[in-house]
């Protein structure tokens, strides 16, 4: 099975601006956030995950077990509460964030030595690629 564990650095990002706009992130925050190169530290033990996204400006931490819904606070992002659940779709990690925003969620997968992250909100899709540190 896939193991997402490790430290990953952002190498490219497409339409993060559109994603942040869809979330209603304010102009000043977007201006700073789009220049960031966040690092992800993922710990995976079986079906338990913790994902720390760290940047010079702000950070975000989330912890979950596959298939177990939890309340996500999105603290430091848009602060909207979601009922969140993450499941496997073959080797992809698929997150659905149910709340005020339609079509909100993300998918993580690995290809070669790259970690992909697709972030969705409403009509916007942001694709990011991370490389092992």
Provide the binding-site residues for ligand RET, judged by CB under 6 A: 20, 25, 29, 33, 36, 38, 51, 53, 55, 57-58, 60, 62, 76-77, 106, 108, 117, 119
Nearer to ligand RET, 20 or 110 (CB): 20
The distance of closest approach from Cβ of residue 72 to ligand RET in the complex, given in angstroms and rounded to an integer, is 10
Q: How far is the CB of 9 from ligand RET (least distance, A)?
A: 13
* Cα–Cα distance list, 16 to 38, 88, 92, 118, 124 (Å): 12, 24, 21, 10, 9
In terms of Cα–Cα distance, which of 114, 72, 104, 64 is closest to 88? 64
CB nearer to ligand RET: pick between 63 and 113: 63
| Cβ-proximal residues to 86 (8 Å cutoff; 6+ apart), any chain | 49, 64, 66, 67, 93, 94, 95, 96
Q: State the minimum distance, in angstroms, from the CB of residue 112 to ligand RET.
A: 19
């Amino acid at each position: 099975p896939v193991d997402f564990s490790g430290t990953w650095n952002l190498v490219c990002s497409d339409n993060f601006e559109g994603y942040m706009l869809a979330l209603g992130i304010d102009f000043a925050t977007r201006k700073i956030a789009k220049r960031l190169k966040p690092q992800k530290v993922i710990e995976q033990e079986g079906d338990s995950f913790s994902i720390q996204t760290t940047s010079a400006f702000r950070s975000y931490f989330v912890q979950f077990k596959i298939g177990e819904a939890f309340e996500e606070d999105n603290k430091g992002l848009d602060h909207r509460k979601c009922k969140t659940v993450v499941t496997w779709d073959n080797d992809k990690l698929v997150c659905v964030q149910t709340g005020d925003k339609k079509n909100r969620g993300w998918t993580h997968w690995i290809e070669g030595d790259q970690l992909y992250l697709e972030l969705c909100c409403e009509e916007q899709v942001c694709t990011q690629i991370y490389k092992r540190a």
